[in-house]
Amino acid sequence: MVVTTNAQLQQKLDSLVKIMETGDIEKFVRAFVPLDLSEEEISDYLSRLREDQSEWENIKVEIKTIADGDSVTKIEGDQVKSAVFFFQHPSFDQVDREVEFVFEDSEWRAQG
């Protein structure tokens, strides 16, 4: 188990988990996606999550895994401006994942 050493990033991850637990997909997307996405790109991602329950469930389990540190094997980056979480996907055997968060405009957001 490996968790971030950055309190603000951990707070962001925990808040994303709480939003997901409410089932408010739009609120989650608007708190999660990179700040430079257009409204069209945000709407497209939001539609995909609403239409594909398995994709929504997948992102939920990944964010919870990162927040809890479960299955996280390492975090690369300085955890001040960037943090890349490496973990085995909890729902799929032998599927390694990496998810990056970056700090921009005073806020942590997913990258890419």
Give me 34's structure tokens: 């990179």
- Condensed to tens digits (0 to 9), the pLDDT of residues 100-109 reads 999 999 999 9
Residue that has been written with the tokens 């992102």 in this structure: 59
CB–CB of 78/10 below 8 Å? no
Report yes or no on whether pTM surpasses 0.85: yes
Would you give per-residue pLDDT tens digits along the chain (112 residues)?
899 999 999 999 999 999 999 999 999 999 999 999 999 999 999 999 999 999 999 999 999 999 999 899 999 999 999 999 999 887 777 779 999 999 999 999 999 7
* Alpha-carbon distances of 112 from 39, 59, 91, 101, 109, rounded to whole Å: 16, 14, 22, 9, 10
Domains along the chain with CATH numbers:
7-111 (3.10.450)
Residue closest to 13 by CA, chosen among 86, 68, 70, 58? 68
